[in-house]
């Protein structure tokens, strides 16, 4: 069990040799401990949010020249006294500083303990604390913007407002229970039904946004499918801008799926080149084709490739065999237009296919890099999310499960009100909904939830 009254220390920059490193001390004795080995001004006497130059000493030995920033409680990230030491990034210097701090009374911080202290001290709610980890792990503009908005309270304030309305009504219901013998009603049932409807609508939108939030956070899966030798591997190499897949004129060269990620206009995509779809000639190829169908089912976007010289009725028949689901985006790519003599005919084929299949069709030449820019635009435009959007988007599976639980209990609460069940039973369902919402922002939490959340953090954050 961690003692949150201790003073903790950790390296907060990446481990290893570097130009500079930053070590953080946090806790009531942070200034007392730094004064033991910092030669310069006495930190405990300085004004908060100031920076000071001096030397780290061990007895008579000078370890390093450093810059020390101090933050006094409650005006720090954690709400405690905090010291940040910026030193040279030598492994020896880092280890010596950590050793000196521990000798003088600090202990090494656990993973995520600084952010956990910020949560416990009311500086962040739990959803904002989780967004700190997402912000650190973000690799694209889209991921960064989502994490930043959540850290700033993107939807936590919405949840707090919804929860407060439910709490106000719950308080009136509890009051009715206290006066149950007098058969009085303090809570307006009609008004409460409207509150439940509003809350359920908001929760439904949040739950539905998770599909988009999840693909933005983890990368949008795009399956490239089609018959052998239509140019799937060539297209993958063009999109990834490297020779990732082997390209040859031999049918069945790709025997299993090949997967890699790339960022297009700040959005992460996971492209999957699948084995050519045909009647397998051996068991290994059959397994590859089976995996192709599996990957296609998992994809958010399916790029169906065909040769532009094929009869378009055959292309339509092959496309319909894929059975693209309603929640998937399909784009038909007519490849090898570089060897097609009549572009007028190509446009006619595009229009015919679009009419017959109801999805976007684009003629390309993967070999000549023709219309690849248009394909990239189609892919990025499909992601109905922009950095300046005000939409609430959920990226955390823990949150979406809590929202689902809250929604189910609100439905039971509504049923109880409409069927005029006893106030005691209605109150039970309402309390369960409040507890589920409270787990998102941390109003209601337990040690297991906190351990799970903060164990994902790096040491020093």
Res 278 pLDDT > 60:
no
| Minimum mean pLDDT range among 81-85, 111-115, 166-170, 428-432 | 166-170
Res 155 pLDDT > 90:
no
**Thinking of the domain 8-120, which architecture would CATH place it in?**
2-Layer Sandwich (3.30)
Percent of the chain with pLDDT over 90: 24
Cis peptide bond upstream of 309, omega within 30: no
Contacts with 46 (C-beta within 8 Å, 6 or more apart), sequence order: 52, 70
**Protein fold of 219-382:** Rossmann fold (3.40.50)
Res 127 pLDDT > 70:
yes
Q: What is the pLDDT of residue 220?
A: 83
pLDDT, one tens digit per residue, over 25-81 is 999 999 999 999 999 889 989 999 999 999 999 988 999 999 999 999 999 999 999
Q: What is the pLDDT of residue 187?
A: 60
- Residue identified by tokens 């809590």 is 402
| Minimum mean pLDDT range among 103-112, 147-156, 201-210, 404-413 | 147-156
Res 192 pLDDT > 70:
yes
Q: What is the pLDDT of residue 254?
A: 44
Instruction: For residues 135-144, give the mean pLDDT.
Output: 75
Instruction: For residues 397-415, give the mean pLDDT.
Output: 91
Q: What is the pLDDT of residue 346?
A: 61
Contacts with 381 (C-beta within 8 Å, 6 or more apart), sequence order: none
Instruction: For residues 237-249, give the mean pLDDT.
Output: 61
Average pLDDT score over the chain: 80
Of the candidates 412, 411, 405, the residue with the CA atom closest to the CA atom of residue 435: 405
Q: What is the pLDDT of residue 107?
A: 94
Strand-strand pairing, 258-264 and 38-39: unpaired
| Minimum mean pLDDT range among 105-114, 184-193, 417-426 | 184-193
Res 440 pLDDT > 80:
yes
CA distances from 196 to 33, 47, 83, 190 (A): 53, 50, 47, 10
Cα separation, 120 vs 132, whole angstroms: 15
Cα separation, 31 vs 72, whole angstroms: 9
Highest mean pLDDT among 126-140, 290-304, 386-400: 126-140
Res 298 pLDDT > 90:
no
Q: How confident is the model at residue 179 (pLDDT cuts 50, 70, 90)?
A: low
Cα separation, 227 vs 219, whole angstroms: 26
pLDDT, one tens digit per residue, over 342-369 is 555 566 666 667 676 778 888 888 888 8
| Minimum mean pLDDT range among 184-188, 255-259, 319-323, 423-427 | 255-259
Q: What is the pLDDT of residue 213?
A: 79
Q: How confident is the model at residue 12 (pLDDT cuts 50, 70, 90)?
A: very high
For CA atoms 354, 378, 137, 128, give the dihedral sign: negative
Cα separation, 105 vs 87, whole angstroms: 20
Higher-pLDDT residue of 265, 77 = 77
Res 383 pLDDT > 90:
no
Higher-pLDDT residue of 392, 408 = 408
Instruction: For residues 7-28, give the mean pLDDT.
Output: 92
Q: What is the pLDDT of residue 160?
A: 85
Domain limits, the chain: 8-120, 219-382
Res 195 pLDDT > 70:
yes
Q: What is the pLDDT of residue 386?
A: 45
Res 418 pLDDT > 90:
no
Instruction: For residues 246-258, give the mean pLDDT.
Output: 46
Res 23 pLDDT > 60:
yes
């Amino acid at each position: 069990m961690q003692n949150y009254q201790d003073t903790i220390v950790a390296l907060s920059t990446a481990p290893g040799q570097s130009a500079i490193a930053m070590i953080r001390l946090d806790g009531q004795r942070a200034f007392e401990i730094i004064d033991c080995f910092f030669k310069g001004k006495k930190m405990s006497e300085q004004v908060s949010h100031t920076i000071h130059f001096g030397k780290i000493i061990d007895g008579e030995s000078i370890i390093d020249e450093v810059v020390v920033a101090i933050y006094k409680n409650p005006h720090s990230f954690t709400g405690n006294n905090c010291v940040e030491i910026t030193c040279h990034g030598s492994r020896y210097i880092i280890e010596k500083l950590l050793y000196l701090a521990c000798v003088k009374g600090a202990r090494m911080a656990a993973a995520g303990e600084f952010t956990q202290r910020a949560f416990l001290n009311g500086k962040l709610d739990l959803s904002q604390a989780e967004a700190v980890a997402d912000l650190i792990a973000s690799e694209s503009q889209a991921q960064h913007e989502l994490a930043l908005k959540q850290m700033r309270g993107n939807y936590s304030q919405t949840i707090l407002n919804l929860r407060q309305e439910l709490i106000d009504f719950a308080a009136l219901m509890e009051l009715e229970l206290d006066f149950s013998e007098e058969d009085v009603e303090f809570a307006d049932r009609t008004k409460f039904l409207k509150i439940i409807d509003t809350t359920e609508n908001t929760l439904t939108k949040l739950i539905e946004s998770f599909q988009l939030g999840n693909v933005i956070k983890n990368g949008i899966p795009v399956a490239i499918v089609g018959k052998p030798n239509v140019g799937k591997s060539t297209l993958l190499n063009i999109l990834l801008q490297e020779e990732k897949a082997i390209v040859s004129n031999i049918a069945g060269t790709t025997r299993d799926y090949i997967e890699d990620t790339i960022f297009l206009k700040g959005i992460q995509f996971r492209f999957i080149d699948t084995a050519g779809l045909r009647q397998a000639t051996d068991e290994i190829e059959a397994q590859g084709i089976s995996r192709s169908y599996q990957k296609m089912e998992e994809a958010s976007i399916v790029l169906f490739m065909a040769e532009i010289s094929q009869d378009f009725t055959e292309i339509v028949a092959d496309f319909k065999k894929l059975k693209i689901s309603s929640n998937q985006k399909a784009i038909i790519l007519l490849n090898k237009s570089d060897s097609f003599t009549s572009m007028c005919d190509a446009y006619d084929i595009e229009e015919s296919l679009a009419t017959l299949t109801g999805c976007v069709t684009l003629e390309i030449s993967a070999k000549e890099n023709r219309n690849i820019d248009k394909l990239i635009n189609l892919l990025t435009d499909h992601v109905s999310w922009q950095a300046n959007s005000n939409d609430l988007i959920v990226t955390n599976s823990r949150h979406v499960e809590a929202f689902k639980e809250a929604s189910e209990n609100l439905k039971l609460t509504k049923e109880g009100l409409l069927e005029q069940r006893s106030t005691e039973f209605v109150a039970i369902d309402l309390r369960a909904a409040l507890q589920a919402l409270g787990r998102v922002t941390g109003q209601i939490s337990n040690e297991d939830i906190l351990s799970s959340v903060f164990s994902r953090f790096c040491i020093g954050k």
